[in-house]
Amino acid sequence: MATLQHEKFLLMPTSSIPSLTTWVETPKHTDFTIYSLPFGVFKSKKLSPRIGMAIGDQVIDLSVLDQEGFFANLFLPEGIFLKDSLNELIELGKQKTKKIRERVQQLLLQENEELRTHSIRGKVLIKSQEVEMLLPVKIGDYTDFYSSMEHATNVGKMFRDPENALLPNWKHLPVGYHGRASSIVVSGTPIRRPKGQFKDANMDKPAFGPSRSMDFELELAFITGKSTQLGDSVSTKDAEDYIFGMVLFNDWSARDIQAWEYVPLGPFLGKNFGSSISPWVLPLEALEPFRVAGPVQDPEVLPYLSCSKDHNFDIQLEVGLQPEGQKESKICASNFKYMYWNMAQQLAHHTVNGCNIQVGDVMASGTISGPTPDSFGSMLELSWRGTKPLVLESGEERSFLQDGDTVVMRGFCEKDGIRVGFGEVRGKLLPAT
């Protein structure tokens, strides 16, 4: 059995990280270390959809552990891991899901022989290439925020007055909009180039056709773990109790369609054709050692948005672009710690008017751009609206995405030799129908 120190790791409120070693062989620099243990949903040719965890390049079938009695002391509902989404598991509450992760972590420790020498070990650990990852949650509602000051400033400079790039409300509230949940897809699902109206400055009237300015947006999203009643609100102090975990998020964007349609009510066809999320949900407690202070907010926010502790996290992010048949080029390196508005403020603002939330709602950060040109989180910014095309390793240039391009986003935290990661979210852009 694990020591008391090991048992407490997943609940530790401090930034110190105990040294843990697992008997499972894992690739060097894997995101899925014994410190990560994210939840996901998978199936295979032999297995129906079920819930698992990731360790290295293998998937842990939690249903087998449950059937063999490894979770007997947790008093879990029968068949809780034989589900096609995480929603019912998440709804059990953080106390239960934390104990599940603690128990799995114990079983994977080098000094623990319970699973290592057990006859069902081969059924519990499955090679990642043998499974298909599914959408991790049934998404009721989806909200996208606009919380990076660097990104909002860049867009303001390009499309409005460079001297007054931020609109008057931006530093007073986390700007957001409600998007389409039905078109959120799991990593690996191709995205088809959308069609819609667009109108350039030199055009007398709008035209219709496939978007000519396809883009990605580098984002993270949090998944809500508790529901509220209509009329209730969530404070910044309590917000993290309602956040189960996080995923990587690519909010694909058709910039020309968006530019023509967004006044006065915001994005519509330029956004709702597809967004991609990573299949593994990293619980918030796995990120605890990487908590950092966010940017200083000036002017001072209204009381309902004030925070008594830090809610930003040092999550390193990168984007790769791979033309069809070519090598991948790293085109962006950013960090979640740059976000001006944090998750607690986003959720508090979202619910302050009494808007109710449901287990499994997805709330995305908005594009995560940093202070330097190589940290900009979209093609719009990296190519500065097409005026400074990117040169890829293949020698090809890109102002916006071309058909056949694959966008790959990755995210991880690293400190004192300890790595916790999200894996990746990837999607290939297909031609319009």
Q: Which of 6, 29, 118, 151 is catalytic?
A: 151
Structure tokens at 408: 């790959």
DSSP result, 103-134: HHHHHHBTT--TTTTSTTHHHHEEEGGGSEE-
Instruction: Measure CA 312 to chain center.
Output: 14
State yes or no: cis peptide before 299, omega within 30 of 0. Answer: yes
Residue 404 near residue 428 (C-beta atoms within 8 A): yes
CA trace torsion 59, 412, 224, 98 (10° rounding): 60
Q: Is 354 left (phi over 0), alpha (psi -120 to 50) or beta?
A: left
Q: Is 330 helix (H, G, I), strand (E, B) or coil?
A: strand
Find where tokens 């842990």 sit.
60
Closest to 64 (Cα-Cα) out of 87, 88, 86, 48: 48
Please give the structure tokens belonging to residue 106. 């114990």
Q: Is 178 an active-site residue?
A: no
Q: How far is CA 99 from the centre of its chain?
A: 23
Catalytic residues: 151
